[in-house]
Amino acid sequence: MTRALPSAQMRDALALWLDGRRAMDAASDHTISAYAHDVGQFLGFLAGHLGGAAGLRQLAEVTQSDMRAWMAAERGNGLGSRSLARRLSAVKSFARWLAEREDLDISAILAARAPKFPRTLPRPLSEAAAREVIAVAPLQSRTDWTGARDAAVITLLYGCGLRISEALGLTGRDLPLGDVLRIAGKGGRERLVPLLPAARAAVAAYLRACPHPMTHDEALFRGTRGGPLSRRHIAKVMEQTRLQLGLPATATPHALRHSFATHLLAAGGDLRAIQELLGHASLQSTQVYTAVESGRLMEIYAQAHPRAGTSARTQGQ
């Protein structure tokens, strides 16, 4: 199938929709680029599939057969189930917006079903491993102040459940640190996160050692030359730390956020409260940690009672 360009009117509509997502959802540049690529791929296929530059009204003529042909073509191009589901979600969002503006019937697009794919569970660290990471991570740095900086970032990830982008997005305006942090998360959603004394102490130690002046508008965590610290640096620190400690490849910066949620749940934390602390828009995103905790309990039970595990397997034969 030859890829054709959608009509100029369709391209203008896509640009307008992207502007709206950027403004209303406070989406990142990376997210906007992904939306543009995903919807653009669909519109390009549609133009070629329909034999010409598809216009706005032609969306209403799309059939379920057309949608299946598009999904089959994407599969043929090597797109996996998870990526195809994400692409279909972006297409539906754009089509729904356009239908409301142009009074179109896009039922065939909305009826398309995303492929099923196995949901991967988060892989948290144990509490002991998380403490070891916080202790060993600063040793990867060549100077005391950068070691204190890395320890502060990692302590915020584990102690407050922050995303790496949220931790590195803190500025001098967030100082002095109090008992809570006001975090602007995904979609512009703000939340208040309690700041543990250990996290506050780690940040304070970094600030005392940091050689760069701290102003309201500059990043709280600075690179060696004074610019904003990159997320790639923290990923590298975690990589070096996990190799030193013999931890699996799943021990990433984001795994510390998973660990925060899992350990809080194990300690009796309320699922709704954990949802608020993580900044999840849906409780469904948080419920995955109940499966993680149940899995860990079953592992502990099997280790403590090996006969029970053997008996269960025997009965199943």
Choice among 243-247, 256-260, 261-265 with the minimum mean pLDDT: 261-265
Query: What's the rounded Cα separation, in Å, for the pair 153 and 155?
Result: 5
Does the pLDDT at position 213 exceed 80?
yes
Span 79-108, mean pLDDT?
87
How much is the pTM?
A: 0.59
Q: Where in the chain is the domain with CATH 1.10.443.10?
A: 127-303
Q: Which of 1 and 233 is assigned the larger pLDDT?
A: 233
pLDDT tens digits for range 131-190: 999 999 999 988 999 999 999 999 999 988 888 889 999 999 999 888 888 887 776 678
User: Cα angle at 36 between 55 and 113, to 5 degrees?
Assistant: 75
pLDDT tens digits for range 269-286: 676 777 777 776 666 656
| Whole-number pLDDT of residue 314 | 42
Q: How confident is the model at residue 83 (pLDDT cuts 50, 70, 90)?
A: confident
Does the pLDDT at position 205 exceed 90?
yes
Query: What's the rounded Cα separation, in Å, for the pair 14 and 225?
Result: 40
| Whole-number pLDDT of residue 311 | 43
| Whole-number pLDDT of residue 170 | 92
- Radius of gyration of the CA atoms of the chain, in A: 24
Helix residue ranges per DSSP H, 161-252? 164-168, 197-209, 231-245
Q: Please, what CATH class does the domain formed by 8-111 belong to?
A: mainly alpha
Q: Where in the chain is the domain with CATH 1.10.150?
A: 8-111
Q: Please, what CATH class does the domain formed by 127-303 belong to?
A: mainly alpha
**Which residues are the active-site residues?**
163, 186, 254, 257, 280, 289
Q: Which of 264 and 154 is assigned the larger pLDDT?
A: 154
